[in-house]
Amino acid sequence: MPDLVIEIRVRPNASHNKVGGTAGDPPRLVVVVQAPAVDGKANAAVIKELALAFNLRPRDFTIVNGELSRDKRLIVRSADTDLAERYQALIGSPAPR
């Protein structure tokens, strides 16, 4: 299984954590985290939430672009064959507020 590249938009300092929906153009998966965007705390929280959403380990996710931006590109490495389907399901869910 080739690696899956996903595009996300991060919303830090939220009241809850959630993954789902889209924002921006082109559409990016929305990841809402309670952690502030300071000292990599939001990035760590984003990876943790994505791991939970995809039912993978945090080490399966690598930020390859946008480390300091709210728009990020990540590579997901896994032998799981339904990653693309899970990604599409998350994009299709309502956007978090």
Q: Is 84 helix (H, G, I), strand (E, B) or coil?
A: helix
- Expressed as residue numbers, the domain containing 50 is 4-92
Report angle CA 93, 19, 69 to the nearest 5 degrees: 120
71 domain residue, yes or no: yes
pLDDT values of the chain reduced to their tens digit, one per residue, 97 residues:
578 999 999 999 999 999 999 998 889 999 999 999 999 999 999 999 999 999 999 999 999 999 999 999 999 998 777 888 888 899 986 666 5
97 domain residue, yes or no: no
What's the CATH code of the domain at 39? 3.30.1200.10
49 domain residue, yes or no: yes
Total domains present in the chain? 1
Measured CA to CA, the distance from residue 14 to residue 33 in angstroms comes to 6
46 domain residue, yes or no: yes
36 domain residue, yes or no: yes
